[in-house]
Structure 1
Amino acid sequence: MAKHNAFYAQSGGVSSVINASACGVIETCRQHSDRIGHLYAGHNGIIGALTEDLIDVGQESDEAIAALRHTPGGAFGSCRYKLKGIDTHRVQYERLIEVFQAHDIRYFFYNGGGDSADTCLKVSQLSERMGYPLQAIHVAKTVDNDLPLTDNSPGFGSVAKYIATSIREAALDVASMCATSTKVFVMEAMGRHAGWIAAAGALAGGEGAAPPHMVIFPEVPFDRRRVMRKVDETVKQYGYCVIVVSEGARYEDGSFLADAGNTDAFGHRQLGGVAPTLAGMVKQDLGYKYHWSVPDYLQRSARHLASRVDVEQAYAVGVRAVECALEGKNAIMPAIRRDSQSPYSWSIFDAPLADIANQEKFMPADFIREDGFGITQPCRDYLEPLIQGEDFPPFVNGMPDYAKLKLATVPKKLAPFEI
């Protein structure tokens, strides 16, 4: 059987476990060297494919690849670059196929969220129209946990663990000082349209006095008067109030509390910091002393606090992606199925990209408490298994020791291409 080459790329905002998926893809490709020749990686994601900026993964040692499993960030470089529609920008997709043909690439593994799922599907469709044999497999990744069909998304469990841990620790700090200092603490969590990460903050405590006292979701329209009344009641009852707010919190009309006024490369509204916005409301309406925190990239890069379940799932979808390609499958995303809640167990199944691309999974109504400021027991039951276990990276001289790659590039065969 003839051997052909493979291409792997990372897309969008990275996570603490996206490289664990890369490790799964690469190690599985190496185990099937009888069918897969060279494995190339796109330097800076899909841009690397368009510009023919390919990394020869074969130059990396087995030890360096194994170290990817505990290394955060995007080892080969990611990008926020969304390919346009096939009909209006066909030349971009044709360029991808041209690069794949030049380097005998027949397997395409694209590691990302909803937008990359759409790109992967379109590449699959165009290769079929052009008669070029290509297996296009999407490798799930998104800290937002908003991919449909899959029970959860690799990357989410570790962010959830970080947010829940951080708010528990910060709440102890605030509680110890609230008599003479900060009364209200606001922490912002990622999540543009879906409140999964903010919801995970509620795992830090329970009902009643245990903080966080409030969670503010994108799925619940923001009512300033109602929120301020709840903050005031909480401070008077407990002496302080700890809040987790999703960056995508919005008013009844759909406008964001913190809209920076522009869009990113994917066409999403850029959000300008909802934590300081909400804290400013507290100061203006209630006069309480406050502090706020925006963990931003810290929450998605905190590999030192990754969930072991998340790491294992991220690796597993990478492994299954290669298996799908070798089985001749196309336009598929390996997804996670929850087989049992207690004890928690999971497996991988193959989900069609046509049912995933351009779709978002929001918090179910029964996961949000009736008053809109917390989570229900079903939500807690869903979230808790995803943050279980620790998977610490190795430490050297007190610091985590991460993978160091050569990132050797492949000689170009085609004319330059402007993106």
Structure 2
Amino acid sequence: MKNEKYGKIFYKLLILKIIEAKEEGIVFMKALYAQSGGVTSVINASAYGVIDEARKNGLEILVGINGVTGILKENFLDASDLDIEFLRYTPAGAFGSCRKKMKNDSDIEKLFEIFRKNEIRYFFYNGGNDSMDTAWRVQMEAQKRGYELKVVGVPKTIDNDLPHTDHCPGYGSAAKYIAISMMEAALDLRSMYVDSTQVFVMEIMGRHAGWLAAAAGLGWINGIGADVILLPEKPFNKDEFLSTVNKIISEKGYCAIAVAEGLKYPDGFFVSDMGFTDSFGNRQLGGVGFTIAGMVRSELGLKTHVAIPDYLQRSGRHIASKTDIEEAEMCGRMAVRYALEDNYGVMVTMERVSNNPYQIKYSSVPLNLVADQTKMLPKDFYEGYTVTDKFFEYALPLISGEFYPPFENGLPSYKLINLGKK
């Protein structure tokens, strides 16, 4: 308690020092924020949190356009006086994202030349597993070079697979989108199955973990959801699967299926492996929904339909979770606070205090414990081809509440900023 008290005093004195220096026209220290990896419907809420908190504490704040890709081109936006209110309502990466991995020495050398040139002393990187690896590499390089830099990772991923945090900003809203979409599609299927489509298949993002696909079952809390959920955590058994579908069809005439893109056979091979890798070394996946539908059609002779939400599930801001938006913003704010308290080389985390009432507390974890690691869906969150009560207890608070964007002409009014081209 004593250390905590002194830590808060130090934090307040530091803020006063920064503000005083700024008022005197001295550039005390500059902060840099950037977005990385696949975007979400609430990543910009985190950007809002970082920028607003940095400005409140007197920091000069720059934004790297298109993550480290743009930073290496010195493609910056000065956010010190930017009107940022739109960030709380706009989906996807307002400042552009990237999938670049800092692999070679020349990139690292150039990055630190740019940091020195622009007097960057705080770096806030907003992303998922691979992005936290980049953040960790940058922090280690700074220490190796004797360059004063405080790096803090701001978590983000609809996959919800970052370890050491209860959940990730972006997941709650994507889960809400998937749950609602499956409910509505299942109702459509129920209306038409008598002499039309009998099996509906939704292909859902999730390379290694089934957190998002599991959300397709949340609609059962209101009476309708996915009948079968195929998860990466459960090796795919074709005969068992087809038998289950056939049984459901015989009982009610139709079957709604959710399948994660990362579905694997017992030998570990992806059902939807496209045969090549991306810049991070990840196998490219696609078409698992059509593969599953093809099995059902050829083996059971049933008419099928496939839907792939793809980008829609991660950028559906119109029905985003209020809880998710508020937590995303707070993760951004906490990143700045931690850096100012000399708690750096870490990623912001959330720890669940209770389910009812839902309550969390913010903390942090060293970046090296997160980098390139994956948190799988716990075994007690699913059983057979459905999710358990434990998953409902976990996920329902995360999709709670609505925070609609402003509408104009019957459509969301999303603001764009000029990112430029460099």
Q: TM-score, normalised by structure 2?
A: 0.92
Equivalent runs, 1:45-60 vs 2, <5 Å: 45-60=67-82
1:177 is matched with 192
1:4 is matched with 29
- Amino acid across the alignment from 1:13: G
- Amino acid across the alignment from 1:162: Y
1:131 is matched with 146
2:126 is matched with 111
Helix, strand or coil: the match of 1:58? Answer: coil
Equivalent runs, 1:297-376 vs 2, <5 Å: 297-369=311-383, 372-376=384-388
1:277 is matched with 291
Work out whether residues 218 and 225 of structure 2, in 8 Å CA contact, stay in contact via their aligned partners in 1. no
348-357 vs 14-23, greater mean Cα deviation: 348-357
Instruction: Measure how far apart 1:29 and its partner are.
Output: 1.1
1:196 and 2:191 matched:
no
Helix, strand or coil: the match of 1:254? Answer: coil
1:380 is matched with 392
Instruction: Measure how far apart 1:59 and its partner are.
Output: 5.0
Deviations 1:150-187 (A, max 9, x none): 10000000000000000001100000111111110000
Runs (5+) with no aligned partner, structure 1: 410-415
Instruction: Measure how far apart 1:32 and its partner are.
Output: 1.2
Helix, strand or coil: the match of 1:300? Answer: helix
Deviations 1:323-346 (A, max 9, x none): 111112221111111111111111
Of 154, 157, 162, the residue aligned with 2:172 is 157
Mapped partners of 1:347, 1:201: distance in 2: 27
Helix, strand or coil: the match of 1:242? Answer: strand
2:4 is matched with none
Instruction: Measure how far apart 1:406 and its partner are.
Output: 4.4
Work out whether residues 60 and 405 of structure 1, in 8 Å CA contact, stay in contact via their aligned partners in 2. no
Aligned pairs, how many?
397
**TM-align CA RMSD:** 1.5
Of 373, 383, 391, the residue aligned with 2:403 is 391
Of 59, 65, 69, the residue aligned with 2:88 is 69
Mapped partners of 1:403, 1:107: distance in 2: 27
Mapped partners of 2:342, 2:33: distance in 1: 17
- Amino acid across the alignment from 1:358: D
Segments of 4+ moved more than 4 angstroms: 406-409
- Amino acid across the alignment from 2:38: G
1:81 and 2:88 matched:
no
Helix, strand or coil: the match of 2:416? Answer: coil
1:237 is matched with 251
- Amino acid across the alignment from 1:14: V
Mapped partners of 2:210, 2:136: distance in 1: 26
- Amino acid across the alignment from 2:36: S
1:17 is matched with 42
Helix, strand or coil: the match of 1:226? Answer: helix
Runs (5+) with no aligned partner, structure 2: 1-16, 22-27
Work out whether residues 13 and 78 of structure 1, in 8 Å CA contact, stay in contact via their aligned partners in 2. yes
Instruction: Measure how far apart 1:134 and its partner are.
Output: 0.3
- Amino acid across the alignment from 2:201: V
2:225 is matched with 211
Helix, strand or coil: the match of 2:93? Answer: coil
1:246 is matched with 260
Work out whether residues 186 and 275 of structure 1, in 8 Å CA contact, stay in contact via their aligned partners in 2. yes
The percentage of counterpart residues that share the same residue type is 49
Instruction: Measure how far apart 1:107 and its partner are.
Output: 0.4
Work out whether residues 59 and 406 of structure 1, in 8 Å CA contact, stay in contact via their aligned partners in 2. no
- Amino acid across the alignment from 2:121: R
Mapped partners of 2:343, 2:186: distance in 1: 49
Instruction: Measure how far apart 1:288 and its partner are.
Output: 0.3
Mapped partners of 2:266, 2:159: distance in 1: 22
- Amino acid across the alignment from 1:274: V
Of 406, 413, 420, the residue aligned with 1:401 is 413
Work out whether residues 246 and 300 of structure 2, in 8 Å CA contact, stay in contact via their aligned partners in 1. yes
Instruction: Measure how far apart 1:353 and its partner are.
Output: 1.2
Deviations 1:367-408 (A, max 9, x none): 111xx2011111111111110000100101111112332447
Q: TM-score, normalised by structure 1?
A: 0.92
Work out whether residues 257 and 274 of structure 1, in 8 Å CA contact, stay in contact via their aligned partners in 2. yes
